[in-house]
Structure 1
Amino acid sequence: MSDGEKIDSQDFFWPFWPVVPIYPYARRRTICKEVIKDTIWTFEQIQGIFYVVVPIRMTVVKLEAGGLLIYAPVAPTKECIRLVNELVGEHGEVKYIILPTISGLEHKVFVGPFARCFPSALVFVTPNQWSFPVNLPLSWLGLPAKRTQVMPEDSSQTPFGNEFDYRMLGSIALGLGRFAEAVFFHRRSHTLLVTDCLVSIPEDPPAIAQLDPYPLLYHAKDQASDVITDNQINRRKGWQRITLFALYFQPSVLKIPKFSQLLHDAQKSPDRSIKNYFGFYPFQWDNDWQRSFDALRGNGRLLVAPILQSLILNRAPKETIKWADQVTSWDFQWIIPCHFDAPIKATPQQFRQAFSFLEKYPITSAGLFNSNSYPLPQEDFKLLNSIDITLNKIGIVPPAQEKI
């Protein structure tokens, strides 16, 4: 290994990966992209389990008076902090760091370490933070006690309230914990920042996932014995399957073979290394698997992830719709989520329509009733619905409420 490679390795090193031990573990690359010139930048990394890798994104906004606001920090590797400091040198110091969720451990775990890199920044967190299995004080979770504040309900009471509005969804009771999310509206750029409540699915894998294409190629296989060529077709195939698995866990077009079959097939694998899970490939995709992806993607439309539809937001349809109506009152033109595609060109009406799955009689953006306004294949929800029923039956989560 050359000296240059050693330096690069340290640039990507994330020492606290055992706290949330998910791929890519200790090595996290970062891509910075300017979204709106001299105003908004996104910083992307990847995360996943069993090579099911999806982007995780933080957004940096330049304040009108100078300085930066950080929404949903990612892992503060040397590379990431160097890229942020390039913006600091040009636009001013990091003034505010926002933790916009209470349940997303993959977002919460980075806030404390990130804040320590910018010791003059104030940290604002969504109310009703909690931890499991023991509910600990924020300072015990690594957030700087003297610089951390809970976001007031009225955004005008914050030091950045002259530039941002926010609305908080939640907190929705989930038995073991709660779900909540704060979406931020940056008035000057007409941009909405969201965490997990909405996504838009790109057809091709994002650039951050292509820095190391191995996970994409792993999921492009049809069977354990396949040797996959690295090309854009296979990268796209792997990405689309990853998306289905990440958002449904097990769509109807995916079968999981018995362990005895997996063991038998692994013997035929041309690569039985640790990197290739010793040849194990526990996926069997139907020939028409792409129909489920096309239905899920919907030409890149805004959607609420199936997991949130089936296991979280259906616990509070009335509160969620009320919140969505409040957000729709803002005149945003762009949406930047923390996962999958960004930025998304979208209208408030398109935002609102994404939540129509919570309504008995959904209304289109034109104000007309549309009985098929959210046509995700119900057969792909089979596993999620089964999880929902089981969790409710054993008393871990409350029952879903009727649509409004």
Structure 2
Amino acid sequence: MSLRSSAVDGGRARALASRSRDGSTVRPRRMNPRARASADDGARARVESSGVGVSRRGNLLALGTALGSLVSEGPARAMANYARTLQDAYGAATSKAIAPERWYPYWWALPLAPYGSKATARAEAVSGEVWTFDQLQGLLDVLVNVRMTVARLEDGGLWVHNPIAPTPELVKMMRELERAHGPVKHIVVGSAAIEHKIYSGPFSKFFPSADVWLPPKNWTFPVDVPLETYVPFYPNGSPKTLPMESLGGERNVPWADEIEHAVLHVGGSSLRNFKDPWFVDTAFYLKRTKTVVLTDVMEKVSMQAPPVCQINPQPLLVRSMDKPGDAPPNSAQARSDGWGKTVLFGLLFNPNAVKFEFSGDIANDLLDGFTWDPSWRDDFEALVARPMFVPPILAVLAFPRRRDTVKRWSNVVASWDFESIIPSHLDGPFSATPEQFTEAIDFALTATPYEQFGANAKSLVDVDDLSVQLKSLETPEPLSMELRTAIKPIEISETDSISDELERV
């Protein structure tokens, strides 16, 4: 995920994530995540896929063989190389020779792990109406899901949001949908982030009659190269420019009767001369199913990893290690622990609960040179307890520069009568109301970083301070009085004092 966020430190700021209507603090009801994670290890999330996959038994046999060779060198040697063994087993299981239907030949255009291997997990978000397709992306063994959403159009055909890598496996899945619901008509990118738009050209090669739509003022970091030049695969007449909004049936896009949208632009960067946006996201409202589809603005996370992460779970097992050489079994608890630490790594610059130890072997150190304080579990469970949250890099570095812009955009989204949200990462869909969405946005716009994320906010606060000193980002601006008056004040429990958090930093 390109947008990193931060977890709530030590569980102290959990009360800030939810407030009652009278403004008093309400602590989210804690489920029993460890009991849930210790459920039957054989129960795996249902993943719809096509083609020949790598069986779990085959993975375990390969892993067992590799571990056996290490054990023959002695227990100390085996423990020291356990993470490398898991990584090698993952590489073998995801090779082009083993899973050619999951191979994407243009991976070098965006060289993120797992590189050419792109397993796809399909799910039906709304029966007969909306489907999600997840693949993996990340660095090293910190892999999170990236999601494409597909909706059925009322007059036949399909609307595709944020296409992912068009592997043979994914294209086969799409052909099945086309046979049932008609051809792909529109390929729509809602974000300026390269990992969400780079596949739109290659994807469109398989659906050449579809129109491709990119958001306005769409630039490619770090240089402003048009995407159609960087990835020259678009059909004639594409890509088209998505209007800033299409509300109330305004017919400036072909799908306006069924899907409304509003584009969010956040600027304030020297890279864009403090004018053009460096963050772009678009909210789409699927009226018939009361679903909002967006990219990065809002997230939700659960204790267990999404199904696509568990097709080949070795990276989760590497990440589950509390300290170097701490070999975990392949269990539901280990996969849950690995997912929790993956989320903290993927959403934070520097999680407060982890320490990195450099031994001199950088290849091994980047895998298992980490020691986790037990407080990581509170950090992760606090995120899980939230109905939804704004990723901290947005809440700390982006949104404060254009608070009024964000609030006006969120007012448009909150005017829609939606019941669920499908973002492009982590959980999706998840239940959500306009009121809950508004509360999460308002909390991000008005609370301090430490009120939102506890001691884990420190790294982002340091970046924020440095950016102001270097004048690489604008100075944050408060909400105007006109927009602030409708926001309820934040209540902080006496037992959740922010001064306590600052003492831990």
Q: TM-score, normalised by structure 1?
A: 0.88
Change (3 A) 1:391 1:226: same
Residues 350 and 456, structure 2, Cα contact 8 Å, conserved in 1 = yes
SS in 2 for 1:106: helix
Which residue pairs with 2:348 in the alignment?
248
RMSD between aligned alpha carbons? 2.3
Task: Structure 2: state its 5+ residue gaps.
Answer: 1-51, 55-95, 273-277, 481-505
Cα deviation, residue 145, structure 1: 5.2
SS in 1 for 2:260: strand
The one of 400, 404, 416 equivalent to 1:330 is 416
The one of 227, 246, 253 equivalent to 1:158 is 253
Cα deviation, residue 212, structure 1: 1.1
How high is the sequence identity, in percent, across the aligned residues? Answer: 33
SS in 2 for 1:243: helix
The one of 297, 319, 333 equivalent to 2:405 is 319
Alpha-carbon distance between aligned partners in 1 of 2:366 and 2:237, rounded to the nearest angstrom: 50
Q: After the TM superposition, which residues 107-126 of structure 1 pair with which residues of structure 2 at under 5 Å, given as runs?
A: 107-126=196-215
Q: Does 1:90 align with 2:90?
A: no
Which residue pairs with 1:37 in the alignment?
127
The letter of the residue matching 2:190 is: P
Cα deviation, residue 203, structure 1: 1.1
Residues 134 and 308, structure 2, Cα contact 8 Å, conserved in 1 = yes
Change (3 A) 1:4 1:329: closer
The one of 230, 236, 239 equivalent to 1:148 is 239
Change (3 A) 1:217 1:4: closer
Q: Does 1:60 align with 2:150?
A: yes
Alpha-carbon distance between aligned partners in 1 of 2:105 and 2:433, rounded to the nearest angstrom: 40
The one of 189, 196, 215 equivalent to 2:315 is 215
Which residue pairs with 2:452 in the alignment?
376
Q: Deviations over 1:211-268 (max 9, x none)?
A: 11111111111222222211111110110011111112212212223x2xx338x8xx
Q: TM-score, normalised by structure 2?
A: 0.71
Higher relative contact order (CA 8 A, sep 6+): 2
The one of 393, 396, 399 equivalent to 2:472 is 396
Q: Figure out how many residues of one structure are paired with residues of the other and give that number.
A: 377
SS in 2 for 1:388: helix
Q: Deviations over 1:85-120 (max 9, x none)?
A: 100011000000001011x11101111101111000
SS in 2 for 1:376: helix
The one of 362, 371, 374 equivalent to 1:287 is 374
The letter of the residue matching 1:200 is: K
Alpha-carbon distance between aligned partners in 1 of 2:107 and 2:53, rounded to the nearest angstrom: 23
Q: Does 1:183 align with 2:283?
A: yes
Worse-superposed segment, 191-200 or 44-53: 44-53
The one of 354, 360, 363 equivalent to 1:263 is 360
SS in 2 for 1:45: strand
Alpha-carbon distance between aligned partners in 1 of 2:329 and 2:167, rounded to the nearest angstrom: 31
Residues 266 and 398, structure 2, Cα contact 8 Å, conserved in 1 = no
Q: Does 1:385 align with 2:472?
A: no
Alpha-carbon distance between aligned partners in 1 of 2:285 and 2:264, rounded to the nearest angstrom: 14
Residues 194 and 221, structure 2, Cα contact 8 Å, conserved in 1 = no
Cα deviation, residue 315, structure 1: 1.5
The letter of the residue matching 1:172 is: G
Change (3 A) 1:174 1:357: farther
Q: Does 1:355 align with 2:430?
A: no
Cα deviation, residue 61, structure 1: 0.3
Which residue pairs with 2:11 in the alignment?
none
Which residue pairs with 1:365 in the alignment?
none
Alpha-carbon distance between aligned partners in 1 of 2:281 and 2:445, rounded to the nearest angstrom: 21
Alpha-carbon distance between aligned partners in 1 of 2:470 and 2:264, rounded to the nearest angstrom: 26
Q: Does 1:137 align with 2:226?
A: yes
Structure number, greater radius of gyration: 2
